Structure 1
Amino acid sequence: MSAPTPGTPAPGFTLRTQHGETVALSDLRGDAVLLVFYPFAFTGVCTAELRALQGAGTRLAEAAGGTVHTLAVSCDSMHSLRIFADQEGLDFPLLSDFWPHGNVSREYGVFDEDKGCAQRGTFVIDPAGIVRWTVHNGLPDARDTDDYVKALAGL
């Protein structure tokens, strides 16, 4: 499946957080959403990216002009994500796309069939549920949170 492009509606989804809570994209309408797909918890580049997101929370909200929901999605199990979030001190939702394996990652065009994980794809979704900005990096290539700040400022 191909990734949604700027100007198109973001595919809806409902996933569980590292705490077992349900998050539905539709429930976040009215606020900006930063949707970040990453390959695996406990890996070097992913850990660094998520730590950077944790540290950029205030900058992201200021750029969005209010509330922005940062959602990080991987195909790891909810239980693994809980340990990972606790270990790294991450307080934003880590969403598990574990089962059915990779369905949401596929909807967003970022699932790597050969490796069985999400690739590094990011989507800025406006308060109306429309994708406004995207970036897709290869597995070894970290993304820059400054790019997210700029994209959110453009909403």
Structure 2
Amino acid sequence: MTSPLVGTEAPDFTLTDQHGRRVSLSDHRGNAVLLVFVPFAFSDVCTNELVDLRDAPDLAEGRDLEVVVVSCDSIYTLKAWADAHHYTPPLLSDFWPHGEASRAYGVFNDTKGLATRGTFLIDASGTVAWSVVNSTGEARDVDDYRVAIADLK
């Protein structure tokens, strides 16, 4: 399912990463951003997706592209996951106000209190160029990211 945000300015947010640093989406202006929302870092599907991202350096290689992951987990959970899986890109906590960034992108599940599996490719000017939203248990394919990134002009 594609998001209605495609073609519009990406909603900005400021969240805390796994190291306690404040990170804003607007900090990345001038570079493309692959913004990946995950429900919970330690779930099997999320772990597999994040490991796939970690093991796909070609996504950003030779491009002005950054991968940013957002979860409703606390920064402590995200730090523990990153340490356990040797994950160094930013893992941003949308824990409090709970799901605020996820809501802005239309991927927050109010009933379960988590972000659904939404991915947004944002171009260097801050416009959502592509997106895919999967159900909670349905993994995304890194190859789909490769195609969307290659199509980004």
Same fold (TM over 0.5): yes
Aligned partner of residue 149 in structure 2, secondary structure = helix
1:89 to 61, 67, 86: 86
1:120 to 117, 122, 138: 117
1:4/1:108 contact within 8 Å kept: no
1:153 equivalent in alignment to 2:139: no
Rounded Cα–Cα distance in structure 2 between residues aligned with 1:103 and 1:14: 10
- Cross-structure match for 1:14: 14
2:5/2:105 contact within 8 Å kept: no
Q: How does 1:1-155 map to 2 (within 5 A)?
A: 3-57=3-57, 59-62=58-61, 65-155=62-152
Percent identity between matched residues is: 57
User: Structure 1 length as normaliser, TM-score?
Assistant: 0.94
Deviations 1:21-53 (A, max 9, x none): 111111111101000000001110000000000
* TM-fit CA distance, 1:4: 4.7
Rounded Cα–Cα distance in structure 2 between residues aligned with 1:35 and 1:115: 21
Rounded Cα–Cα distance in structure 1 between residues aligned with 2:16 and 2:64: 21
User: Runs ≥4 in structure 1, deviation > 3 angstroms?
Assistant: none
Aligned partner of residue 90 in structure 1, secondary structure = coil
- List alignment gaps of at least 5 residues for structure 2: none
Rounded Cα–Cα distance in structure 1 between residues aligned with 2:151 and 2:143: 13
Rounded Cα–Cα distance in structure 2 between residues aligned with 1:79 and 1:54: 19
Deviations 1:94-135 (A, max 9, x none): 000000000000000000011000000000000000000000
Say how many residue pairs are matched: 150
Aligned partner of residue 20 in structure 2, secondary structure = coil
What is the root-mean-square deviation in Å for CA atoms of aligned residues? 1.0
2:35/2:67 contact within 8 Å kept: yes
User: Structure 2 length as normaliser, TM-score?
Assistant: 0.95
